[in-house]
Copies of this chain bind each other. A is one copy, B any other.
Amino acid sequence: MPKSSFQEIILKLQDFWASHGCLITQPYYTQVGAGTMNPATFLRVLGPEPWNVAYVEPSVRPDDGRYGENPNRFQKHTQYQVILKPDPGNPQELYLESLKALGIDPRQHDIRFVEDNWEQPAIAAWGLGWEVWLDGQEITQFTYFQQMGGVTLNPVSVEITYGLERILIALNNAKAIWDEEWGAGVTYGEIIRREEFEHSKYYYEVADVERARQMYDLYSAEADACLAQGLLVPAHDYVLKSSHTFNILDARGAISVAERQAFFRRMRELARRVAEGYEEQRKELEYPLLKESQTSKVKSQVSEGRSTFDLRPATFILEIGVEELPANDVDTAHGLLSARILTLLDELHLEHGDVRVFTTPRRLVVSIDSLSPNQPDREDLVKGPPADKAFDKDGIALPAGMGFAKKNNVDTKSLEIREEGGGKYVFAVVKQKGRPTPEVLAEALPKLVESIKFEKSMRWNDSGVFFSRPIRWYVALLGDMVIPFEYAGVVSGNISRGLRPYDSPEIKIPSADKYFDVIREARIVLDREERKTSIIEQVKQAASLVGGEAIFDFVGASHDSPLLNEVTNLIEMPTAVMGGFSEEFLQLPRDVLISVMKKHQRYFPIQKNGKLLAHFIAIRNGDDIGVDTVREGNEHVLGARFADANFFVREDVKLKLEEYRPKLSTLTFNTKLGSMLDKSERIEKLVNELIPMLKLENDEAVFARRAVHLAKADLVTQMVTEMTSLQGIIGREYALRSGEQKDVAFAIGEQYLTVPQTIIGLTIALADRLDSLVGLFAAGLAPTGAKDPFGLRRAAIGIVQPLVEHDVDFDLAEAVKKSAKTQPIEVKDEVQKQILEFITGRLKVVLGDLGYKYDVIDAVLAAQSNNPAGTVRAVKQLQAWTERNDWSSILDGYARCVRITRGQQTQFKVSEKQLVEEAEKELYEAVKNLPAKVDGEVDSFLRSVVKLLPFIKTFFDQVLVMADDEKIRQNRLALVGQIANLSTGIADLSKLEGF
Query: Bound complex: CA of A301 vs CA of B195, how far in Å?
Result: 44
Assess the B184–A22 pair: CB atoms within 8 A: yes
Residues of B within 8 Å of A810, CB to CB, are: none
> Of A208-216, A799-807, A918-926, which stretch is located at the interface?
A208-216
The residue of chain B having its C-beta at the shortest distance from the C-beta of A40 within the complex is B191
Residues of B within 8 Å of A215, CB to CB, are: 215, 218
B11, B190, B218: the one within 8 Å of A289 (CB) = B190
Chain A 176-201: CB-based contact to B (< 8 A → 1; otherwise 0):
00000011111000110011001101
- A571 → B minimal CB distance (Å): 36
Q: Report if A14 contacts B (CB, 8 A).
A: yes
Query: Bound complex: CA of A534 vs CA of B230, how far in Å?
Result: 57
Query: Bound complex: CA of A218 vs CA of B191, how far in Å?
Result: 28
Assess the B23–A191 pair: CB atoms within 8 A: yes
Question: Which of A24, A56, A211 is most buried by chain B, counting CB atoms within 10 A of its CB?
Answer: A24
Assess the A225–B206 pair: CB atoms within 8 A: yes
Query: Bound complex: CA of A101 vs CA of B447, how far in Å?
Result: 58
Query: Bound complex: CA of A32 vs CA of B199, how far in Å?
Result: 19
> Of A231-239, A672-680, A709-717, A817-825, which stretch is located at the interface?
A231-239
Q: Report if A207 contacts B (CB, 8 A).
A: yes
Q: Given A207-B222, A214-B218, is A195 in contact with B11 using a C-beta cutoff of 8 Å?
A: no
Q: Report if A596 contacts B (CB, 8 A).
A: no
- A175 → B minimal CB distance (Å): 19
Assess the B29–A30 pair: CB atoms within 8 A: yes
Assess the B199–A233 pair: CB atoms within 8 A: yes
B23, B29, B190, B208: the one within 8 Å of A29 (CB) = B29
Q: Report if A281 contacts B (CB, 8 A).
A: yes
Q: Report if A133 contacts B (CB, 8 A).
A: no
Query: Bound complex: CA of A211 vs CA of B219, how far in Å?
Result: 9
Q: Report if A242 contacts B (CB, 8 A).
A: no
Assess the B18–A11 pair: CB atoms within 8 A: yes
Residues of B within 8 Å of A208, CB to CB, are: 221-222, 225
Counting contact residues on chain A (CB < 8 A from B), the size range is: 35 or more
Residues of B within 8 Å of A186, CB to CB, are: 23, 289
Q: Report if A506 contacts B (CB, 8 A).
A: no
Q: Report if A533 contacts B (CB, 8 A).
A: no
Q: Report if A21 contacts B (CB, 8 A).
A: yes
Query: Bound complex: CA of A205 vs CA of B226, how far in Å?
Result: 10
B7, B22, B221: the one within 8 Å of A18 (CB) = B7
Q: Report if A727 contacts B (CB, 8 A).
A: no
Q: Given A10-B24, A24-B10, A214-B218, is A206 in contact with B234 using a C-beta cutoff of 8 Å?
A: yes
Chain A 963-994: CB-based contact to B (< 8 A → 1; otherwise 0):
00000000000000000000000000000000
Q: Report if A58 contacts B (CB, 8 A).
A: yes
Assess the A27–B26 pair: CB atoms within 8 A: yes
Assess the B29–A7 pair: CB atoms within 8 A: no
Q: Report if A646 contacts B (CB, 8 A).
A: no
- A42 → B minimal CB distance (Å): 13
- A664 → B minimal CB distance (Å): 27
Query: Bound complex: CA of A7 vs CA of B18, how far in Å?
Result: 9
Query: Bound complex: CA of A15 vs CA of B27, how far in Å?
Result: 18
Residues of B within 8 Å of A78, CB to CB, are: 26
Assess the B30–A202 pair: CB atoms within 8 A: no
Residues of B within 8 Å of A214, CB to CB, are: 214, 218
- A429 → B minimal CB distance (Å): 66
Assess the B231–A222 pair: CB atoms within 8 A: no
Q: Given A11-B18, A214-B218, is A30 in contact with B30 using a C-beta cutoff of 8 Å?
A: yes
Question: Which of A11, A198, A285 is most buried by chain B, counting CB atoms within 10 A of its CB?
Answer: A198
Q: Given A24-B11, A24-B183, A186-B289, is A211 in contact with B222 using a C-beta cutoff of 8 Å?
A: yes
Q: Report if A903 contacts B (CB, 8 A).
A: no
Q: Given A11-B14, A218-B214, is A233 in contact with B23 using a C-beta cutoff of 8 Å?
A: no
Query: Bound complex: CA of A974 vs CA of B865, how far in Å?
Result: 133
B26, B52, B211, B225: the one within 8 Å of A184 (CB) = B52
Interface residues in A18-46 (C-beta closer than 8 Å to B): 18, 21-32
Residues of B within 8 Å of A232, CB to CB, are: 198
Query: Bound complex: CA of A201 vs CA of B227, how far in Å?
Result: 12
- A259 → B minimal CB distance (Å): 20
Assess the B231–A201 pair: CB atoms within 8 A: yes
The residue of chain B having its C-beta at the shortest distance from the C-beta of A206 within the complex is B229
The residue of chain B having its C-beta at the shortest distance from the C-beta of A234 within the complex is B202
Residues of B within 8 Å of A18, CB to CB, are: 7, 11, 183-184
Assess the A198–B27 pair: CB atoms within 8 A: no
Q: Report if A288 contacts B (CB, 8 A).
A: yes
Residues of B within 8 Å of A281, CB to CB, are: 194
Q: Report if A60 contacts B (CB, 8 A).
A: yes
Assess the A11–B7 pair: CB atoms within 8 A: no
Query: Bound complex: CA of A7 vs CA of B198, how far in Å?
Result: 34
- A646 → B minimal CB distance (Å): 25
- A145 → B minimal CB distance (Å): 20
Assess the B26–A29 pair: CB atoms within 8 A: no
Assess the A56–B183 pair: CB atoms within 8 A: no
Q: Given A202-B234, A225-B208, is A56 in contact with B26 using a C-beta cutoff of 8 Å?
A: yes
B7, B27, B222, B229: the one within 8 Å of A201 (CB) = B229
The residue of chain B having its C-beta at the shortest distance from the C-beta of A15 within the complex is B11
Query: Bound complex: CA of A186 vs CA of B289, how far in Å?
Result: 8
Query: Bound complex: CA of A52 vs CA of B29, how far in Å?
Result: 23
Assess the A231–B206 pair: CB atoms within 8 A: yes
Interface residues in A31-78 (C-beta closer than 8 Å to B): 31-32, 52, 56, 58, 60, 76, 78
The residue of chain B having its C-beta at the shortest distance from the C-beta of A39 within the complex is B195
Query: Bound complex: CA of A191 vs CA of B218, how far in Å?
Result: 28
Residues of B within 8 Å of A182, CB to CB, are: 23, 25
Question: Which of A11, A56, A206, A229 is most buried by chain B, counting CB atoms within 10 A of its CB?
Answer: A206
Residues of B within 8 Å of A30, CB to CB, are: 29-31
Question: Which of A31, A78, A184, A285 is most buried by chain B, counting CB atoms within 10 A of its CB?
Answer: A184
Query: Bound complex: CA of A831 vs CA of B289, how far in Å?
Result: 70
Residues of B within 8 Å of A7, CB to CB, are: 18, 23-25
Residues of B within 8 Å of A22, CB to CB, are: 183-184
- A148 → B minimal CB distance (Å): 18
The residue of chain B having its C-beta at the shortest distance from the C-beta of A20 within the complex is B184
- A220 → B minimal CB distance (Å): 10
Residues of B within 8 Å of A225, CB to CB, are: 206, 208
Assess the B23–A183 pair: CB atoms within 8 A: yes
The residue of chain B having its C-beta at the shortest distance from the C-beta of A203 within the complex is B234
Residues of B within 8 Å of A28, CB to CB, are: 29
B27, B191, B211: the one within 8 Å of A221 (CB) = B211
- A240 → B minimal CB distance (Å): 10
Residues of B within 8 Å of A60, CB to CB, are: 29
- A162 → B minimal CB distance (Å): 14
Query: Bound complex: CA of A214 vs CA of B213, how far in Å?
Result: 12
Assess the A184–B289 pair: CB atoms within 8 A: no
Residues of B within 8 Å of A226, CB to CB, are: 202, 206
Residues of B within 8 Å of A207, CB to CB, are: 222
- A461 → B minimal CB distance (Å): 21
Query: Bound complex: CA of A25 vs CA of B7, how far in Å?
Result: 7
B11, B185, B195: the one within 8 Å of A233 (CB) = B195
Query: Bound complex: CA of A218 vs CA of B201, how far in Å?
Result: 19
Residues of B within 8 Å of A11, CB to CB, are: 11, 14-15, 18, 24
Query: Bound complex: CA of A76 vs CA of B25, how far in Å?
Result: 14
Assess the B190–A288 pair: CB atoms within 8 A: yes
- A199 → B minimal CB distance (Å): 6
Residues of B within 8 Å of A218, CB to CB, are: 211, 214-215, 218
27 example contacts (A-B, Cβ-Cβ < 8 A) are as follows: A7-B24, A11-B14, A22-B184, A23-B191, A25-B182, A25-B191, A26-B26, A28-B29, A29-B29, A29-B60, A30-B31, A185-B291, A186-B289, A194-B233, A194-B285, A198-B230, A198-B234, A201-B231, A202-B229, A202-B231, A206-B225, A206-B231, A207-B222, A208-B221, A211-B218, A211-B222, A215-B215
9 nearest interchain CB pairs?
Answer: A202-B234, A7-B24, A198-B231, A23-B183, A23-B184, A195-B233, A211-B218, A29-B31, A198-B233
A30-B31, A208-B222 are known contacts; what are 10 more A-B pairs with Cβ within 8 Å? A18-B184, A22-B184, A27-B29, A29-B30, A194-B233, A198-B233, A198-B234, A201-B229, A202-B226, A206-B226
